Structure 1
Amino acid sequence: MNCKPTYLGKVISVSGSSVSIELTPKVRSGLLMIEGKAHRIGQVGSFVRIPQGYNNLFGLISETNDTSSIPDSYSLSAERRVIKVELIGESVGSDFERGISQYPAIYDEAHLVTESDLRIIYGHNDLGQVKIGKLSSSDSIDVSIDLDKLVNRHSAVLGSTGSGKSTSVASLLRAIVNKPDGQLQTPSSRIILFDLHGEYSSALKEVSEVFSVMPSEGESSLIIPYWCVNPERLIEFLCGQNELLKNKFIELIISEKQLFVEKNPDLKIDRDKVTQYTPLPFNLRKIWGDLCFEDKVTWQEKDQENPAYKDGSEGDYNKLISPSFKPPANGGNPPFKGGNNVWNKQLELMRTRLLDSQYDFFLSPNEWSISETYSVDKDVPDLLYQWLGHNKPITIIDLSLLPSERLDLLLGSLLDILFESALWGRNHDEGMKSYPLLLVMEEAHRYLSNDSNGLTKKMVRRIAKEGRKFGVGSMLVSQRPSEIDETILSQCGTLFSLRISNSTDRSRVKAAMSDGLSGIIDSLPILRTGEAIVTGEAARLPMRFKFKLPKEGQYPNSSDPDVSANWAKEWSFMNFDKITHSWRTQNPKKNS
């Protein structure tokens, strides 16, 4: 009889990477006390070690069986417990590697994995190892992930509503930037969190700068200058689909940008190399006025020298007043026709957009607006400094107050600005190759579905494929993994799977995970809140663990309403004026 305290049992069958182990009667209670710490035995997702001379094979328990699944010829006792283990790696001395070079033999010993074994695997004290929680099967064992691989190889946090997803994301980001004692451990980290529900500012307030369309106290204004946005998408947003108008619009954008270069020689930009994609300011209202002129103009002469304005009404593009012209006359009499008068609908839509106050942060970008003399108070460097240059490790972009139908355009534009700056700044000290950027994208299924075909999906696909080369990593957060584009999800090297009840979502996660851990994935519906299975590049071994719980006051603003307590309150008269005012002003913040 083996007397080693970690002894679990012996190997009784080997099939590929799957090993069946019969547990010794000594561990039939399911609990082992080692060095004063309790270890639960036979838990799905817990570890097993199989010594092979100087080497140790490591595996994860994927199922537990009774004697009915094992042939009678193996039976050594009337009551037996058998566990199925998936082999996933081996250690040689103090070095651990994924994959195995040899298989165990029948009757080889199997042992419980202790904290000292896991220290060999995870290297807790190594630079770049981030402690994010505790192992589910043993509360004394810390779970660490590799920060470099988490960022460079992309990741996803997946879980049904109510599984603790938002709290887990907040806990994960806090673990990255803070030491256990609360001091900063990565003061120069660059993490941008796109918050679609405005729930993270309360959870990460002391380690983040928050940008919002309608900022509260302590928050900054979110500005996305229209002239930094992909021009084709901008035109589509402003005017809808019209190929002829689009071509003329782009021609005017290039002309305006070239004029800005001429007026600002200190930029040292070659005028002839300016394209519609060059991030230079241009006057959108002036272009609207030029398009109105082009569409409606009539001329006093055939050679089109003098416009035939009606009553001297030349219009005012700054006030969005279009010019008026005398109608063309018949025959060879003046006024003579100039424009085709076919863009009325599109130009009126553009005018409406420019007048809509909910788009001011975008179409009237304050200090980033161009003046009549072709100067700007703030330029692209100031924009990047706002998001990346402050002394907090996390930037929260609160998108909760954006018009939902324009989420794709605006989020895609933010990603476009950030990725282009990484692409062209790869050889500079301030670039993302020197200070990598992690983009955390909440509610990813809303804009990365198979049916989506917008700017955001295009940019995320590009980041997933090329981001590593330029220092940009992504983390997707979603409650519906089955709706996320398969190509994008397959690029996520690390997966954190919280409780997932839906079988379709579970199947997608199982397909995205490697290591043949079907038994562990089948446990996703019964995970506790805040408990997850992590697998992939950043985890040296796949494991089931529980995220660190945040301290009081560090939870996201996403908790369920307290139905029973609030419904039990004594009735009192209610006035709905404030709700109506918030609705009309598109501002959910409290008003007096």
Structure 2
Amino acid sequence: MFVERGTTQGETTSQERRAVDQPQRRLLGHVVQCDGARATIAADTETVDSGAGNHWAVGKMISINLGTTRTVGLVYAVERPEQRWNDNETNPIIISVELVGEVRDFENKPVFDRGITEYPYIGAPAHRIRSRDLQAIYDLNGRNSTVIGKLSQDDQIDACIAVDDTLNRHFAVVGTTGVGKSSAVALLLRKTIASRPDLRVLILDPHNEFATALPEHAVRIDTSTLDLPFWLFRLEEFVEVLFRGREAVPEEVELLRDLIPHAKHVYQNPQQPGSILKRGSDTNSLTADTPVPYRMADLIREIDDRMGMLETKNERPLYRSLKARIEAALADPRYRFMFASRMIEDTIHQTIGQIFRVPSNGKTVTCLEMAGMPPEVINSVCSVLARLAFDMTLWSNGKFKVLVVCEEAHRYMPVDTRLGFAPTRHALARIAKEGRKYGCYLGVITQRPGELDPTVLSQCSTVFAMRLANELDQSIIRSAIADSSASTLSFLSAMGRREAIVFGEGVATTMRVKFEKLPDAVIPGSRRGAETTGEDAQGQEIDLASIIKRLRESGHTSRQAQGRASSPPEAEDYGSSSLGQAGDRGYAPAQREFHNSPPPVWSDEALGFRSQQIIPGARGRFGNR
């Protein structure tokens, strides 16, 4: 029923507190049941204007007046007991609400508390919440905050998040495909960058879409501009590249573990290479994981030397196979970002500075575009970058802070530990568990939270849950939210585009929000979308010959490299090698632009090899030629 609010002496203060847009006539109900977490309200209602907003409805906030405090509830169910409607008289209804906290006045200002000190009594009046009380519920009390949209309950009230709390304890954005997830991430990044200009952002972008969303802040790095030297890779990461995502041969891995330190020693001591046996005692300080340069030419030379020793007779097939894998990777144009440098030098300063924007030069975001990257090498690259991000913050004593945004995180951290790449999982999990102590933060983006490692998701203290249709995905999010807000998630399957339920440390209390709309020019992937729909290519002829030429060049070289890696060890010719010049500090074939011409065949004479008698008195393939 409708109750007229008068202006008696006892209600003067209450009227003064009422917001100016608060309606004078409010639907009134009374509590008829309360169990501590939920309450039931009985009310009479009439046919009202649906546009007035003054009606009981699922998702609305209500207030239960207890005198000194006002208990806040969220409507999650409305029903008419008789299951029929009468237009000519009032209709009794039952409203089920979830209790979310209470509001009390302090110094003439409403203050919200998640806890409840006084529960509603039977007969307590309930009505639509006041605007001032609603603002108090989502007030962040002076924390560094930014506006990301409007409340779904009241589009006149800004939806804010606490930037520092959202970052420091990591965050996750989940939602099915097509709900505006990428746009929401772009909006959050733009707001975060504006609030935290000191923050560096590294986006692992598998679809090459975020650079267009941050044109004034982002530097784009793809396979043609990425310079990530192979010697920065740890052994596990390098093995993943050599074996192209397949299961590694343990014996070959152990050989590589011993060979790489020798190659590093030769690089550091070019004037005193020594014999194979003497070098063993000089490499104790170097391991296969030590991030110091070495030459692939030295590594392959070491393999050739060992194949020429009598005591390695039983291991020769393993050495041959390992050499074939290395040469295949070197000849593959898709790996040129690892091996393309002509001069092998200690470029760790330039590499890290380029990737992590030190100095920033006004652009603090790096978009690593991985769409053109070999699938088998993506895991290794992500592992290296995540590890470097953590180490940078660890050893900077808090001066360097970085946010790693991991799009499609379920690829790298799947729930099944047998899937994915273990070093990548460990590197990202380390950020999730320890990163906040040093200033390394994680942003997890996925459309399949049910396939994501729950340990990582549990470390994300702020979650932006957009529409999820899958029951498994909903159950994962439901298990992460507080019990007092559980019914909020019943809206997960029915939310519209750009809508999300936000809960966790970054907000005052669980809220349903409508994200701000981004300008069309900065929507992720907008430029690519225009190209694919033909909006910017009207009248332009498609050069099919050029497309096929590039396709064949890439495919031919890739298949050739794969064939070399999988060829029988007996097919290798020990007498010919594809090494660079002995005095060269790089690997010659890797210098070339592979998509312009195939790798050349190098002779021993052209490469500067001299005959060397490794086995005294021996002749043939392993002795003097």
TM-score by length of 2: 0.73
TM-superposed CA distance for 1:156, in Å, is 1.3
Question: Matched residue of 2:241: which SS?
Answer: helix
The aligned residue for residue 18 of structure 1 is 38
SS at match of 2:257: helix
CA distance in 2, matches of 1:117, 1:355: 67
Superposition deviation, residue 297 in structure 1: 0.5
Q: Structure 1 residues 126 and 258 mapped into 2: Cα distance closer, same or farther (>3 Å)?
A: farther
Partner of 2:374: 403
CA distance in 2, matches of 1:573, 1:381: 41
Report how far residue 359 of structure 1 moved.
0.5
1:514–1:284 distance in 2 versus 1, CA, 3 Å:
farther
Contact 2:503–2:509 (CA under 8 A) maintained in structure 1: yes
Which of residues 323, 344, 364 in structure 1 aligns to 2:320?
344
The residue that corresponds to 2:210 in the other structure is 200
Using the TM superposition, give the Cα deviation of residue 549 of structure 1 relative to its aligned residue in structure 2, in angstroms: 0.4
Counterparts of 1:384 and 1:111, CA distance in 2: 58
Where does residue 508 of structure 2 map in the other structure? 540
Hey, what's the Cα distance between the residues in 2 that align with 1:546 and 1:213? Answer: 36
Equivalent-residue separation in structure 2 for 1:564 and 1:206 (angstroms) = 24
* TM superposition shift of 1:60: 2.5
Seen in structure 2, the aligned counterparts of structure 1 residues 157 and 272 have a Cα distance that, compared at 3 Å, is same
Alignment of 1:415-564 (within 5 A): 415-425=386-396, 427=397, 430-431=399-400, 435=401, 437-451=402-416, 452-454=419-421, 455-557=423-525
Computing the radius of gyration from Cα coordinates, the structure with the larger value is 2
Contact 1:465/1:491 (<8 A) preserved: yes
Task: Please list the CA deviations of residues 288-346 of structure 1 after superposition, one character each: whole Å capped at 9, or x if unmatched.
Answer: 2212321x2057xxxx9xxxxxxxxxxxxxxxxxxxxxxxxxxxxxxx96963433223
Structure 1 spans left out of the alignment, 5+ residues: 33-38, 70-76, 179-184, 215-220, 265-269, 305-335
Distance 1:386 1:68, change over 3 A: same
| Equivalent AA in structure 2 for residue 203 of structure 1 | A
The total of aligned residue pairs comes to 509
Question: Which of 185, 188, 209 is the equivalent residue of 2:219?
Answer: 209
2:64 to 40, 50, 70: 50
Task: Report the alpha carbon displacement of residue 273 of structure 1 after superposing the two structures with TM.
Answer: 4.8
Does the Cα contact within 8 Å between 2:201 and 2:364 map onto a contact in 1?
A: yes
Once the 2 structures are TM-superposed, how far is the Cα of residue 556 of structure 1 from its aligned partner? 1.1
- Identify which range, 165-174 or 557-566, moves more after superposition: 557-566
Distance change (3 Å), C-alpha of 1:555 and 1:479: same
AA matched with 1:522: S
Q: Which amino acid aligns with 2:404?
A: L
Residue 251 of structure 1 pairs with residue 258 of structure 2: yes
Q: How does 1:39-438 map to 2 (within 5 A)?
A: 39=53, 41-67=55-81, 78-92=90-104, 93=106, 95-123=111-139, 126-178=142-194, 185-214=195-224, 221-238=225-242, 241-257=248-264, 273-294=285-306, 296-298=307-309, 340-365=316-341, 370=344, 375-376=345-346, 378-380=347-349, 382-384=351-353, 386-389=355-358, 390=360, 391-425=362-396, 427=397, 430-431=399-400, 435=401, 437-438=402-403
Shift of 1:348: 0.5
CA spacing shift, 1:122–1:544, aligned 2, 3 Å: closer
Q: Give the superposition deviation at 1:197.
A: 0.2
CA RMSD of aligned residues (A): 3.6
Q: Does the CA-based 8 Å contact 1:59-1:85 persist in structure 2?
A: yes
Aligned-partner SS, 2:117: coil
Residues 430 and 108 of structure 1: CA distance in aligned 2, closer, same or farther (over 3 Å) = same
The answer on whether the counterparts of 1:46 and 1:544 sit within 8 Å (CA) in structure 2 is no
* Aligned-partner residue type, residue 258 of structure 2: E
Q: Note if contact 1:298-1:338 (Cα within 8 Å) is conserved in structure 2.
A: no
Contact 2:228 2:351 in 1 (8 A): no
TM-score (norm 1): 0.76
- The one-letter code of the counterpart of 1:223 is D
Query: Does the 8 A contact of 1:196 with 1:400 survive in 2?
Result: yes
d(CA) in 2 for partners of 1:235, 1:159: 34
The 3-state SS of whatever aligns with 2:316 is: coil
Deviations 1:28-78 (A, max 9, x none): 54565xxxxxx5644433333334444343332222222359xxxxxxx95
Q: 1:485 to 1:363 in 2, by over 3 A?
A: same
Q: What is the distance in 2 between the residues matched to 1:357 and 1:463?
A: 32
1:238/1:147 CA distance change after superposition, 3 Å: same
Gap change, CA 1:572 and 1:401, over 3 Å in 2 = closer
- Once the 2 structures are TM-superposed, how far is the Cα of residue 23 of structure 1 from its aligned partner? 4.7
Contact 2:240/2:380 (<8 A) preserved:
no
Matched residue, 2:560: none
**Deviation of 1:461 (Å):** 1.9
What CA deviation, in whole Å up to 9, does each residue of 1:322-378 have, x standing for no partner?
xxxxxxxxxxxxxx9696343322320211001111111123356xx52xxxx43x2
Give the corresponding residue for 2:568.
none
Residues 423-466 of structure 1: CA distance to partner in whole angstroms, max 9, x if unpaired? 333x2x533xxx3x221111122222223241222222222222
Q: Quick one: which amino acid aligns to residue 222 of structure 2? A: S
List runs of 5+ in structure 2 lacking aligned partners: 6-14, 16-21, 84-88, 272-281, 556-594, 596-625
CA contact (8 A) 1:48 1:58 kept: yes
**The residue matched to 1:246 in structure 2 has which SS?**
helix
| Offset of residue 141 of structure 1 | 0.8
CA distance in 2, matches of 1:471, 1:345: 43
Structure 1 window deviating more from structure 2 (164-173 vs 89-98): it is 89-98
Q: Counterpart of 2:299 in structure 1: which amino acid?
A: I
CA deviation digits over 1:189-233, x for unaligned, max 9?
22221111011111111122221113xxxxxx2222222222123
Shift of 1:135: 0.9
Q: What whole-Å deviation, never above 9, does each CA across 1:95-149 have from its counterpart, x for those lacking one?
A: 4333323322222233434443244334468341121111112211110111122
Q: 1:349 to 1:262 in 2, by over 3 A?
A: closer
1:81 Cα deviation from its structure 2 partner: 3.7
How far off is 1:90 after superposition?
3.1
The farther-off stretch of 6-15 and 536-545 is 6-15
